[in-house]
Amino acid sequence: LVFGVFHLGGWDFHCCITPFTGRLAYSEAKSQLIEVFNTASIARMISVMNQVLGEQSYSLQDLFAEERHRIMRLLSQKTLTRLDQLYSQVYRDNYSILMAFHRDQLEVPQELQVAAEIAIGHRIVALLNQLEREVGDDSVPDSHTRVTVLAELDAIATEAQQFHCNLRLPQAKQTVEDLILRTLWQLLHAYNPATVTDNLQWLQSLIAVSDRLNLDVKLDRAQELYLQTLNDKTLPELVGDNTTNWTETHPTATHLQHLVEFGRTLKLDL
State pLDDT tens for residues 144-183.
888 899 999 999 999 999 999 999 899 999 999 999 998 8
| Cα 40 to Cα 5, 7, 26, 69, distances in angstroms | 15, 13, 22, 29
Query: How remote is the C-alpha of 220 from its chain's centroid?
Result: 20
| CB-neighbour burial class of residue 101 (10 A; exposed 0-12, middle 13-18, buried 19+) | middle
Checking if the pLDDT of 213 tops 90, the result is: yes
Average confidence score pLDDT of the chain: 84
Checking if the pLDDT of 65 tops 90, the result is: no
| H and E: helices and strands count for the chain | 11, 3
Specify the pLDDT at position 152: 95
User: What does R_g of the chain's alpha carbons equal in angstroms?
Assistant: 27
Cβ atoms within 10 Å of 239's Cβ, excluding its own: 21
C-alpha closest to that of 128 among 92, 180, 197, 74: 180
Specify the pLDDT at position 246: 43
Checking if the pLDDT of 184 tops 90, the result is: no
Specify the pLDDT at position 245: 47
Checking if the pLDDT of 116 tops 60, the result is: yes
Dist. CA 77–CA 236, nearest whole Å:
50
Specify the pLDDT at position 9: 80
- 173 in Cβ contact with 217 (< 8 Å): yes
Please compute the mean of the pLDDT values over residues 102-122 and round it to a whole number: 93
- 189 in Cβ contact with 237 (< 8 Å): no
Specify the pLDDT at position 235: 53
Name the helix (H) or strand (E) containing 13.
strand 12-18
At residue 2 the predicted structure's pLDDT band, cuts being 50, 70 and 90, is confident
Specify the pLDDT at position 64: 83
At residue 68 the predicted structure's pLDDT band, cuts being 50, 70 and 90, is confident
C-alpha closest to that of 205 among 260, 135, 254, 262: 262
- Please work out, in degrees rounded to the nearest 5, the angle formed at the alpha carbon of residue 66 by the alpha carbons of 65 and 68: 60
Domain extent listing, the chain: 2-62, 65-265
Please compute the mean of the pLDDT values over residues 217-235 and round it to a whole number: 81
Specify the pLDDT at position 185: 86
Specify the pLDDT at position 238: 56
Specify the pLDDT at position 244: 47
Dist. CA 258–CA 242, nearest whole Å:
19
